[in-house]
Amino acid sequence: MTVNPSNTGAPIWDALALPTVGPPAACAPSCVRAAALPVDKGGAWFGRSLPARLLETAARLMRAEALGDTLASPRALGTRDTSGAPARGHRHGDAHAGAGAGAGAGAGADAGADADADTNADAPGNAPSLEIYLLGPFRVFAADRAVEDWPNGKSKAIFKYLATHRGQPVPKEVLMAIFWPESDQDAARNNLNVAVYGLRKALARADPGRAHVLFRQGCYSFNPGLRLWVDAEAFVDCVHRGQAAEHQGEHDTAMAAYRLAEAIYRSPLLVEDRYEDWLVPQRQALQDSCQKLMRRLAAQHFTDGAFDACTAVSNKMLDIDPCDEEAHRLLMRCYSRLGHAHLALRQYHFCVDALARELNLIPGPQTVALSRDIRRRQPV
């Protein structure tokens, strides 16, 4: 098989303009208010302590307040409603038609047979049919129920691939090449059929009677009639809103968007799949974006004299990249400003150890000079 997966279309964060839909705005006002607090007033701690789904609910309402637009609508914050009219057409009795297909058909049908399933479209204003969390522990909620009973094999991995490439349909040959590279075409096609059938059954147990994943014209995709919310897309959306606000001189709005993006980014993309080659470009793109916005946040907190907030964001930067010298220097300055020179010098030694361990390097001149100034009790 000679398919090159990289030629099949950009993932969501390459396009950076795909639809997202926020989860339902329904949680305790106290939780929403706490999650919306600035970092230096406890918001970041509280937000990270909340269950992810409550955090995302709070996030939508926070955006409604802090960004001052029409976020009560699913179209708000630059999102576009993915709901649409159901596709008109008949079912072809194929396993690829939807989750309701019979077990025999699901495992044995030809992966090349097209199906034009009823899209089971959601009515406007409903909660998302699928909530997908990729930045942190992988979790899926279908019709507000957790999808937990994934079958063994590649079903979950294929779902993750579709979730990270949902901007356009994924050809079956791409999935066969990525997940069964050593198999011949017939074996790979059969394995794909079994895996897709399994993921559909897992989704159907949480949300029966709905076709979540469709197969059309040789490609797999999420049903366009469903309302999907993906945390990685929400993160990108917040970053874009922050950047746009900065360009327009709306500083407070930009910082609110960046704080929200920082809260959504709980860990690198699908961190449990760190050795999957197909995830590397997407994970790195998101990580770079997160590092950039956290530098912006941390620098602003330092300028504002919010040193506790700056240390919180800088520590999260180091969680992502322990060798980030800029984050180490920010922490050293914050501790020094707070009167904790010993903590500042300890942070310098953490930096030295991380660089030696991970990269076999020593700190740069800026970092060394900063440690020297702190030892001499000079203002930093």
The answer to whether residues 22 and 59 touch, using CB atoms and an 8 Å cutoff, is: yes
- Crossing angle of helices 185-206 and 155-164, rounded to 10°: 80
Give the Cα separation of 46 and 227 in Å (integer). Answer: 28
Cβ neighbors of 328 (< 8 A, separation 6 or more) are: 314, 318, 347, 348, 350, 351, 354, 363, 367
Query: Residues in the chain, how many?
Result: 380
Structure tokens at 173: 């040959």
Strands 145-146 and 170-171: unpaired
- At 350 the pLDDT is 98
- Determine which helix (DSSP H) or strand (DSSP E) holds 213, and give its type and residue range: strand 213-216
Structure tokens at 87: 């596709």
User: Superfamily for 309-379?
Assistant: Tetratricopeptide repeat domain (1.25.40.10)
pLDDT (tens place) for every residue of the chain, 380 residues total? 433 333 333 333 333 332 333 333 322 223 333 343 343 333 333 333 334 444 454 544 444 444 433 232 232 333 333 333 323 233 333 334 343 333 333 444 544 444 444 455 554 445 568 999 999 899 999 999 999 999 988 999 999 999 999 878 999 999 999 999 999 999 999 999 999 999 999 999 999 989 999 999 999 999 998 889 999 999 999 999 999 999 999 999 999 999 999 999 999 999 999 899 999 999 999 999 999 999 999 999 999 999 999 999 999 999 999 999 999 999 999 999 999 999 999 999 999 999 999 999 999 999 999 999 999 999 99
Q: In what order do the strands lie in the sheet with 219-222?
A: 170-171, 219-222, 213-216
User: Coil, strand, or helix at residue 77?
Assistant: coil
- At 120 the pLDDT is 55
Reported CATH class of domain 130-230: mainly alpha
The answer to whether residues 36 and 66 touch, using CB atoms and an 8 Å cutoff, is: yes
Name the residue among 256, 154, 274, 155 with its Cα closest to residue 205.
155
Q: Where are the domains of the chain?
A: 130-230, 309-379
The answer to whether residues 224 and 84 touch, using CB atoms and an 8 Å cutoff, is: yes
- Determine which helix (DSSP H) or strand (DSSP E) holds 228, and give its type and residue range: strand 228-230
- At 94 the pLDDT is 35
The answer to whether residues 262 and 293 touch, using CB atoms and an 8 Å cutoff, is: yes
- At 152 the pLDDT is 87
Phi and psi at 105, nearest 5°, equal: -65, -40
